[in-house]
Structure 1
Amino acid sequence: MYSRVRPAAGPMAAALLIAGLLTACSSDDEPGGSPPPTAGPSATVTGPSARPGQVLKPGGTYRWTTNSSYGPPAEVTAQVLSYRQPVADPQTPLAAEAGQKGDVWAALEIRICTLSGHLSATSAGWQLAFPDGVRAEPEYHSIAATPRFPVETRLSGPGDCVRGFVSFVAPAGVRPKEAVLAPPGTSEGVAKWPLTPR
């Protein structure tokens, strides 16, 4: 919005107007003058919906807080310890289980611990990400890799942990590029562990 200024009448008013303009110009140029306000750096607001995937080093620990309506939140950590592919399964042929020619069993060794609170630890939320964009989810099948990750384990309090191998189906000769965890019961984002080729 522009304001319209009406010129003052008379020589005295004109002189006062000119003096005021000269004073304003000199104060802007002098070092002691107050510089005009500048816009500060814009703050980047990040939240659970905008949080990118956190890439960890092999064996790195991911930490999150659960959001539960049934009790207080729990502080939880997760790690990827190792990956095996293929894994022999002498009891159940893969073709009968998955029905895909050329697929093999794979096993991801994980560890989940509580730092505080209570948690029912399962393999829910874990995936294998392959280079072509395919994601594999856990198979509820007992393979030869041991120890096997339990179907469900109740963890309680600091230092309570569960470790074991989670079963997956993978294409023969194709290794996943990373293991991915989107923890259930929270919206804090996902964690990724690179799976280096052997």
Structure 2
Amino acid sequence: MAEFAEVSAKFTVVVLAYSQPVEGPQPPDRATLGGDVWATVEVKVCNTEGKTFAVSQFPWSLAYEDGTRIKVTGLNGGDLPKPEFPSVGEAVRQGDCVRGKIPYPVPGDKRPARIVYAPEALQEPLDWVVPAS
């Protein structure tokens, strides 16, 4: 459990799955978004106690062994995998949860080492190890 001090809320956050490659449309050319296949991280954030706070895709990133970080594109809708995690601030009231998939254009020939959650309100980022396959 973590705490958003400035909004006086406690919450749980969990990564449910990492998938690569994801079936469906392929990202536009690699030079545009930096990846040649889509990957998704399925996450769930719950407000367990306190005031309403907002969640979005933007505090989430993928960290690679070589120090590379891949951030979200902000793309949503269309043929991207469902259910989607909100791309803009979604209010999470006490007792409520938000769950969905976050898409990333990634290089198909390597996998990230970690999934990182680093909202500004947290002093330390949270991270999860990505399994080898």
Scaled by the length of structure 1, what TM-score is found?
Answer: 0.59
Tell me which residue corresponds to 1:66. Answer: 4
Q: More strand per residue: 1 or 2?
A: 2
The 3-state SS of whatever aligns with 1:148 is coil
CA deviation after TM superposition for structure 1 residue 96, in Å: 7.5
Q: Deviations over 1:156-190 (max 9, x none)?
A: 112x1000001112111201111111232232x12
Corresponding pairs, count: 129
**Identity across matched positions, percent:** 30
1:130 to 42, 64, 67: 64
What are the residue-to-residue correspondences of 1:170-189 with 2, within 5 Å? 170-187=106-123, 189=124
Root mean square deviation, CA, Å: 2.1
**Structure 1 residues 178 and 98, CA gap change in structure 2 (3 angstroms):** same
Mapped to 1, the partners of 2:53 and 2:119 lie a distance apart of: 12
How many angstroms apart in 1 are the aligned matches of 2:24 and 2:32? 13
Q: Which blocks of at least 5 consecutive residues in structure 1 are unaligned?
A: 1-62
Higher relative contact order (CA 8 A, sep 6+): 2
C-alpha displacement of 1:132: 1.2
Higher helix proportion: 1
Higher alpha-carbon Rg: 1
The amino acid of 1:181's aligned partner reads: Y
2:131 corresponds in structure 1 to: 196
Provide the C-alpha distance between the structure 2 equivalents of 1:135 and 1:64, rounded to a whole number of angstroms: 23
Cα distance per residue 1:38-71 (max 9 Å; x no partner): xxxxxxxxxxxxxxxxxxxxxxxxx211132xxx
1:76 matched to 2:11: yes
Q: Aligned to 1:87, what secondary structure does the other structure show?
A: coil
Does the CA-based 8 Å contact 2:27-2:105 persist in structure 1? Answer: no
Aligned residue number for residue 155 of structure 1? 92
1:133 to 1:153, Cα distance in 2 relative to 1, 3 A? same
Q: TM-score, normalised by structure 2?
A: 0.85
1:166 aligns with 2:131: no
Distance 1:153 1:111 in 2: 13
Runs of 4+ in 1 over 4 A off after TM superposition: none
Structure 2 partner of 1:8: none
